């Protein structure tokens, strides 16, 4: 008897083997492949068998298998995102050779004392609403003001599901969130959650994978990659901060984990809850079209209000060569004097984003990418934030001596330096990925903040997500810029979500909190509507604009990036691909054009943008044409279905 075996490798088809053992679709089996033995999965017999070649035997069957629902989802995922099916399988079974062959066992869960939490009326009503649909596919949106206790609601929901011997998957957008989330989880459930993300050790991955496939792990908290794991009895999926763009994987297998989570719930026949303070534009569109159920929580803990907002016009208030206005300093001093913590927010790492010699005009740019280098004082080097190239800034000047660099624009390190001059006696810390490389760094900083050993935080966007700092009552946005950079159709949407979330970090336990927006555009309509807490009106306006311009969620976009060491080759390749794609009816093909970020990692980039009706599934036709192309080995093709931006 012959069997098809799919291997977790860059193949778009399974391989045919002789099967002398009793096996069925979904069994994990060991097969000879090349000079090694590999673990693969018995797949559907929908593929053409090879002719006139020596077919090898399946070696042996393992004790593990994945069910048909996951197999169907893997096939759909591969078709939708236009990626090889073997790579999608790899996300599900990982390095199964090691997972299966090494005999280690899951430790018994360490129980701690769980705390009693009582839901308020709004939370109780929200829980009942979510529970209306129990054991079937349903998308429900739990929307709540930051600090309103959304997490507690879905914890209660999960608790009841796992009591029925089912499993729960909670997706978080960033691994940085898992530490804070972990302590809240332990307080509620009385034990540590299993946590899955790219930074955990191979041994932890092995243990969790075995615990998931055997139903010994009931709750998994994970980043994007947890979505494909082989749950034995999945009962619910929760996508926390569903609006977060970090759910978009933009390297390797490119996909949107939120959208794929909804599809996985559909294949599994289980409910999924999207949790947010301000929904993504796609989710908002599905709410108003009644495709998703929707419940809101308005009240924050103990009815503390959201912070008041204040706009400071930098055209009038900025101090020469400084980035913090005098009016801001006076207000911040009032909060510090009464023992509150203050956050200065700027979404730029490093010290300065531009270095220009005032004698010869030389600019530090990356030799690999078409980007300026950012100066990082912590390393005393200029660094590229795309490829991590770095170099010392000292350089011989074209005119005389060494270059005399002027640093334009602030990063968090520059703001830290400026605040230290203004408040020399205060304890100040930077909250940025450059300073929080290890798990212990984050843990220690959290402890310092909660023990009131930090007066002022200077943070990037990672601080806006899900953290709870009880004494934080004043936030200063250094540069509230709502203009975008011209190649991101989601600029307005992202700003609405970012600043709403950011304001929710303050005043969790105080009725006197404030968010200050320093800006050069004080009359910007988005900013002025945002401070009135009219985020849904802004989303409605954004939807009208998208519909008028025939953009998502009203049309589907597929970006094709053609990259090469030679600029002319990437552009020529793009033109040839466009001619082939024009064979498909109902496709609108825009481009080719140079990417706004023309060069990344020494490769020049050209782009095609395909637009078509989102009710039609054209990915299979596009994939067929792309797979049939005779592409020069000097060209690389990257396909991005539902792109987030166009850099």
Q: What is the mean pLDDT of each run of 10 residues along the chain (647 residues)?
A: 91 89 91 91 81 82 92 97 96 79 62 82 95 91 89 96 96 76 88 88 89 94 94 97 92 95 98 95 96 92 79 81 90 94 90 88 89 88 88 89 87 93 94 77 81 90 72 90 65 82 74 88 84 82 91 94 93 93 94 89 93 92 92 91 86
The pair phi, psi for residue 581, each rounded to 5°, is: -70, -25
For residues 341 and 426, what is the distance between their CA atoms, to the nearest angstrom?
10
For residues 405 and 2, what is the distance between their CA atoms, to the nearest angstrom?
70
CA distances from 431 to 384, 424, 428, 462, 494 (A): 20, 19, 10, 8, 20
In this structure, are residues 478 and 322 in contact, taking their beta carbons and an 8 Å threshold?
Answer: no
CATH architecture of 555-641: 2-Layer Sandwich (3.30)
Determine the distance from the C-alpha atom of residue 12 to the mean position of all C-alpha atoms in its chain, rounded to a whole number: 26
Res 288: pLDDT: 96
Domain ranges of the chain: 2-101, 121-301, 304-351+410-543, 555-641
Residue with tokens 């947010």: 276
Fold designation for 121-301:
Rossmann fold (3.40.50)
Residues 627, 628, 629, 631: what is their CA dihedral angle, to the nearest 10 degrees?
A: 60
Res 509: pLDDT: 64
In this structure, are residues 230 and 90 in contact, taking their beta carbons and an 8 Å threshold?
Answer: no
Q: Tell me the two tokens of residue 561.
A: 């990036």
- Per DSSP, what are the bridge partners of residue 343? 457, 475
For residues 69 and 604, what is the distance between their CA atoms, to the nearest angstrom?
41
For residues 216 and 232, what is the distance between their CA atoms, to the nearest angstrom?
9
Query: Peptide bond preceding 592: is omega within 30 degrees of 0, i.e. cis?
Result: yes
For residues 157 and 643, what is the distance between their CA atoms, to the nearest angstrom?
33
Buried b (16+ CB within 10 A) or exposed e, 318-329: beeeebbbeebb
| CA neighbor of 495 nearest in space, from 243, 308, 276 | 243
Q: Tell me the two tokens of residue 104.
A: 């280690």
For residues 551 and 548, what is the distance between their CA atoms, to the nearest angstrom?
8
The single-letter DSSP state of residue 529 is H
Fold designation for 304-351+410-543:
Rossmann fold (3.40.50)
In this structure, are residues 455 and 336 in contact, taking their beta carbons and an 8 Å threshold?
Answer: yes
Q: Tell me the two tokens of residue 634.
A: 């000097």
- Per DSSP, what are the bridge partners of residue 367? none
Max CA separation in the chain (angstroms)? 84
| The domains spanning 121-301 and 304-351+410-543 adopt the same CATH topology | yes
Res 544: pLDDT: 93
The single-letter DSSP state of residue 220 is E
For residues 257 and 29, what is the distance between their CA atoms, to the nearest angstrom?
28
CA dihedral (514, 496, 80, 252) positive or negative: negative
Q: Tell me the two tokens of residue 541.
A: 């306006």
In this structure, are residues 198 and 176 in contact, taking their beta carbons and an 8 Å threshold?
Answer: no
pTM greater than 0.85: yes
Res 109: pLDDT: 59
| CA neighbor of 308 nearest in space, from 528, 534, 514 | 514
CATH (residue range 2-101): 3.40.1440.60
Res 105: pLDDT: 64
For residues 277 and 297, what is the distance between their CA atoms, to the nearest angstrom?
9
- Per DSSP, what are the bridge partners of residue 355? 407
Q: Tell me the two tokens of residue 629.
A: 């192309």
For residues 437 and 459, what is the distance between their CA atoms, to the nearest angstrom?
14
For residues 124 and 639, what is the distance between their CA atoms, to the nearest angstrom?
44
Q: Tell me the two tokens of residue 25.
A: 């679709």
CA distances from 559 to 567, 573, 579, 586, 637 (A): 18, 15, 16, 16, 10
């Amino acid at each position: 008897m012959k069997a098809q075996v799919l291997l977790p490798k860059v193949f778009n088809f399974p391989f045919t083997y002789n099967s002398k053992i009793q096996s069925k679709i979904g069994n994990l089996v060991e097969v000879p492949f090349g000079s090694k033995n590999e673990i693969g999965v018995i797949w559907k017999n929908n593929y053409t068998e090879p002719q006139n070649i020596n077919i090898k035997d399946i070696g042996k069957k393992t004790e593990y298998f994945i069910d048909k629902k996951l197999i169907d989802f893997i096939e759909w995922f591969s078709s939708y995102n236009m990626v090889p099916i073997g790579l999608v399988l790899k996300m599900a079974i990982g390095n199964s050779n090691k997972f299966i062959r090494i005999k280690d066992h899951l430790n018994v869960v360490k129980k701690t004392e769980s705390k009693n939490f009582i839901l308020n009326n709004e939370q109780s009503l929200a829980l009942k609403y979510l529970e209306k649909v129990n054991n079937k596919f349903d998308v429900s949106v739990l929307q709540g003001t930051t600090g309103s206790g959304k997490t507690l609601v879905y914890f209660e929901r999960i608790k009841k599901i796992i009591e029925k011997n089912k499993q729960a998957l909670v997706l978080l957008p960033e691994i940085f969130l898992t530490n804070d989330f972990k302590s809240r989880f332990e307080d509620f459930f009385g034990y540590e959650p299993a946590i899955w993300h790219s930074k955990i050790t191979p041994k932890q991955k092995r243990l969790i994978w075995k615990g998931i496939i055997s139903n010994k792990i009931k709750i998994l908290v994970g980043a994007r990659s947890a979505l494909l794991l082989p749950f034995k009895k999945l009962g619910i999926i929760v996508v926390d901060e569903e609006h977060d763009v970090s759910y978009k994987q933009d390297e390797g297998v490119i996909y949107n984990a939120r959208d794929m989570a909804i599809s996985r719930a559909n294949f599994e026949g289980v409910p999924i809850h999207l949790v947010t303070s301000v929904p993504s534009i796609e989710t908002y569109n599905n709410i108003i079209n009644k495709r998703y159920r929707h419940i809101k929580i308005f009240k924050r803990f103990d009815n503390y209000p959201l912070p008041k907002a204040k706009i400071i016009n930098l055209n009038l208030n900025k101090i020469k060569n400084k980035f913090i206005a005098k009016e801001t300093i006076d207000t911040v001093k009032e909060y510090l004097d009464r023992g509150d913590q203050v956050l200065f927010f700027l979404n730029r790492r490093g010290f300065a984003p531009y270095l220009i010699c005032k004698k010869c005009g030389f600019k530090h740019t990356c030799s690999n990418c078409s980007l300026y280098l950012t100066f990082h004082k912590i390393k005393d080097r200029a660094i590229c934030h795309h490829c991590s190239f770095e170099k010392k800034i000292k350089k011989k000047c074209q005119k005389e001596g060494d270059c005399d660099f002027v640093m334009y624009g602030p990063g968090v390190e520059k703001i830290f330096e400026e605040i230290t001059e203004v408040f020399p006696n205060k304890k100040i810390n930077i909250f940025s990925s450059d300073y929080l490389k290890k798990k212990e760094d984050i843990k220690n900083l959290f402890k310092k903040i909660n023990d009131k050993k930090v007066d002022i935080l200077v943070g990037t966007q990672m601080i806006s997500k899900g953290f709870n700092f009880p004494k934080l009552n004043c936030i200063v946005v250094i540069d509230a810029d709502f203009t975008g950079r011209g190649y991101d159709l989601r600029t307005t949407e992202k700003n609405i979500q970012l600043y709403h979330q950011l304001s929710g970090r303050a005043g969790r336990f105080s009725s006197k909190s404030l968010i200050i927006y320093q800006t050069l555009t004080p009359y910007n309509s988005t900013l002025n509507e945002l401070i009135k807490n009219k985020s849904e009106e802004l989303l409605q306006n954004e939807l009208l604009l998208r519909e008028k311009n025939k953009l998502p969620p009203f049309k589907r976009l597929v970006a094709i990036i053609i990259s090469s060491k030679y600029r002319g080759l990437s552009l020529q390749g793009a033109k040839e691909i466009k001619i082939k794609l024009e064979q498909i009816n109902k496709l609108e093909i825009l481009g080719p054009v140079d990417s706004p970020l023309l060069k990344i990692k020494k490769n020049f980039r050209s782009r095609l943008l395909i637009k078509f009706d989102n009710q039609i599934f054209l990915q299979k036709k596009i994939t067929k044409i792309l797979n049939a192309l005779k592409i020069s080995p000097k060209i690389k093709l990257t396909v991005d279905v539902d792109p987030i931006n166009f850099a």
